Structure 1
Amino acid sequence: MRPILLCVLSLPLLAHAEPGVAVAAPVAATTPALPLRARLDKETIRAAIAALPAERHPDPGRREAPALSATAHDAFARDFAAARLPDCLHAEGLRNQPTFFLGGVLALPFIAVAKLRGVCR
């Protein structure tokens, strides 16, 4: 099992390994590799930027809202709605009272417990 796992994990290393000696050896030997700073000058950078396709947004006036954050108004409204005490006989009456695994008609005794505890009106 371990030799198979080792072989599978070494496949990406083999894919990125340098090819044999026969591939472009004379060209690499005759021209020394220049550092990146020497290969890039202003004209090369300008030519590369000019070759890029223009990026156009389909609707430039539309801005995407952050998906995970909310505005201060939304956060305040959510916190304010969660802070008020629900009515005991409505759907959210047992929001602050645990009913464990019981639900429906079996949760009726918990309405009285919630009223006595003061977690609903």
Structure 2
Amino acid sequence: LKDNGSALSQGQRQLISIARAAVADPPVMILDEATSSSDPENEASIQEALSAAARGKTLLVIAHRLITVRHANQIAYIEDGHLKQMGTHEELMQTCEEYRRMWALSEEDRESVPGGVL
């Protein structure tokens, strides 16, 4: 890498940041839109690697892509800066109309994208 990684894409920079965090082995990891610039083909791989790196740790993931947090132990659904509801994906799908609506919209988006991940 030269020129402070200026030749790297934003997605590549995100991957390096995630790798650095995993190697540091902190007890708590906070990831804010960690895969937002990743291409659809790499996001599933990144999610698997994050899951492995986070075993036995606290992982706080901030994401707009619902697919990113689908398998989280707890999801906080926040709207207009206010916590609306918390639960697993399955619980929120049953009890939170707004979450269910957003999930349906994200599914439509995923179906319209080659590779199916958004």
TM-score scaled by length of structure 1? 0.19
More strand by share: 2
TM-score scaled by length of structure 2? 0.19
Find the structure with the greater CA-based Rg: 1
Where relative contact order (Cα < 8 A, 6+ residues apart) is larger, the structure is: 2
